[in-house]
């Protein structure tokens, strides 16, 4: 009888020991959070809770891509009233320029065609677009050729490279005068020289001049999207690939100011938006 009690007592003690070991194993198999300082536990919890929120915030901060479409806006910009006499000058200050342009030369600030079409008007979507548009990989080009800037008026998407060329065998200088962007002032004394610059912020318009030849000037329209145009010699323009929407279209001319119109286009619409400029308006 005593032998059975002893064996039973040892069996009970063995079972208790096994339970104790199992309990210790169960406590030690977790993340040991209870053994960590409170600050470490709080940091871990914040990290786990904050990771999705941070990812969501980063996603929300990234601008959505701007849409394109198949709508087109075309138009013709004309001048009404007495056509002003062209401003003329002589390029006698530079021997090369004088030889390239003997006699008087008309300034490029007002160029009106036979049918009153107004050239070099910058036309663009001023409002109505949403989203972000990356700059084109292809650079815009402005050339100093024949002692004038070519083109006289042009447009770029903010951040797009601008290749600046000197095709003349004489000293030129290109000096930008922006209000919102970083200015540059570059001497280009050698034919064939090239610089590449860009404007990072939308700005309509950025004036460009030559400090060597006072008659040389150009204007660059910097916008946040690719929906712009410059009128041709007959005053016509075309803006393609617009998504459906309602837009404010602005037309800018260096001498006659700006005008705006609102237009609504469907997904495949082609709308005409004409403008008429007057002297002194």
Same domain (yes/no): 253, 138: yes
Helices and strands of the chain, counted as H and E runs: 3, 19
The 10 Å CB-count burial string (b at 16+, else e) for 158-178 is: bebebebbbebebbbbbbbeb
Same domain (yes/no): 186, 136: yes
Same domain (yes/no): 57, 130: no
Same domain (yes/no): 43, 151: no
Same domain (yes/no): 35, 166: no
Same domain (yes/no): 217, 177: yes
Whether 38 is in a domain gets the answer: yes
In the prediction, which pLDDT does 27 show?
A: 36
10-residue averages of pLDDT along the chain (281 residues): 42 40 38 45 48 51 87 97 91 92 91 95 97 96 96 98 97 97 97 97 97 95 98 97 98 96 96 93 62
Same domain (yes/no): 187, 55: no
Whether 66 is in a domain gets the answer: no
Q: Is the separation of the CB atoms in 121 and 250 below 8 Å? A: no
In the prediction, which pLDDT does 63 show?
A: 76
Whether 23 is in a domain gets the answer: yes
Q: Which of 159, 124, 154, 123 is nearest to 141 (CA)?
A: 154
Give the residue numbers spanning the domain of 51. Answer: 2-61
In the prediction, which pLDDT does 279 show?
A: 82
Q: For the domain that residue 137 is a member of, what is the CATH number? A: 2.60.40.420
Residue with tokens 């040991």: 32
CA 104 to chain centre: 39
Same domain (yes/no): 148, 206: yes
Whether 133 is in a domain gets the answer: yes
How is residue 108 written in tokens?
């490029």
In the prediction, which pLDDT does 280 show?
A: 72
Whole-Å CA distances, 193 to 143, 174, 211, 223, 240: 10, 12, 17, 27, 34
Same domain (yes/no): 76, 51: no
Q: Is the separation of the CB atoms in 107 and 149 below 8 Å? A: no
Whether 14 is in a domain gets the answer: yes
Whether 19 is in a domain gets the answer: yes
In the prediction, which pLDDT does 24 show?
A: 34
Return phi, psi of residue 278, to 5°: -130, 150
Entry pTM: 0.78
First to last CA, the chain: 124
In 201-281, beta strands by DSSP E: 203-209, 217-223, 228-230, 236-242, 245-253, 257-265, 270-272, 275-278
The 10 Å CB-count burial string (b at 16+, else e) for 79-95 is: beeeeeeeeeeebeebe
Same domain (yes/no): 44, 96: no
Same domain (yes/no): 94, 180: yes
Helix H, strand E, coil C: the string for 117-171 is: EECCCEEEEEECCCCECCCCCCCEEEEEECCEEECCEEEEECCCEEEEEECCCCC
Whole-Å CA distances, 18 to 4, 30, 170, 217: 21, 20, 98, 94
* Number of domains present in the structure of the chain: 2
Same domain (yes/no): 208, 253: yes
How is residue 77 written in tokens?
């910009």
Q: Which of 18, 37, 61 is the last residue of a domain?
A: 61
Whether 147 is in a domain gets the answer: yes
Cα separation, 173 vs 213, in Å, equals 8
Give the HSE-up count for residue 264: Cα atoms under 13 Å, Cβ half-sphere. Answer: 0
Whether 30 is in a domain gets the answer: yes
């Amino acid at each position: 009888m005593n032998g059975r009690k002893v064996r039973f007592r040892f069996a009970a003690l063995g079972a208790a020991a096994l339970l104790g070991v199992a309990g210790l194993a169960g406590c030690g198999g977790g993340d040991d959070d209870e053994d960590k300082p409170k600050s470490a536990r709080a940091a871990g919890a914040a990290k786990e809770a904050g990771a999705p929120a941070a990812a969501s915030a980063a996603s929300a901060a990234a601008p959505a891509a701007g849409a394109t479409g198949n709508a087109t806006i075309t138009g013709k910009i004309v001048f009404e009233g007495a056509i002003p006499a062209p401003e003329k000058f002589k390029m006698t200050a530079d021997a090369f320029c004088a030889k390239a342009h003997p006699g008087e030369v008309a300034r490029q600030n007002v160029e009106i065609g036979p049918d009153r079409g107004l050239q070099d008007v910058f036309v663009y979507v001023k409002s109505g677009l949403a989203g972000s548009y990356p700059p084109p990989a292809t650079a815009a080009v402005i050339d100093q050729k024949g002692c004038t800037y070519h083109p006289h008026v042009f447009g770029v998407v903010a951040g797009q490279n601008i290749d600046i060329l000197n095709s003349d065998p004489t000293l030129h200088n290109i000096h930008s005068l922006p209000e919102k962007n970083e200015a540059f002032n570059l001497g280009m004394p050698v034919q064939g020289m090239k610089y590449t610059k860009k404007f990072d912020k939308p700005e309509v318009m950025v004036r460009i001049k030559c400090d060597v030849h006072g008659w040389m000037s150009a204007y660059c329209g910097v916008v946040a999207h690719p929906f712009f145009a410059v009128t041709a010699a007959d005053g016509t323009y075309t803006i393609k690939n617009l998504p459906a929407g309602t837009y404010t279209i602005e037309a800018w001319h260096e001498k006659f100011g700006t005008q705006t119109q609102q237009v609504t286009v469907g997904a495949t619409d082609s709308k005409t938006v004409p403008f008429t400029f007057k002297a002194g308006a």
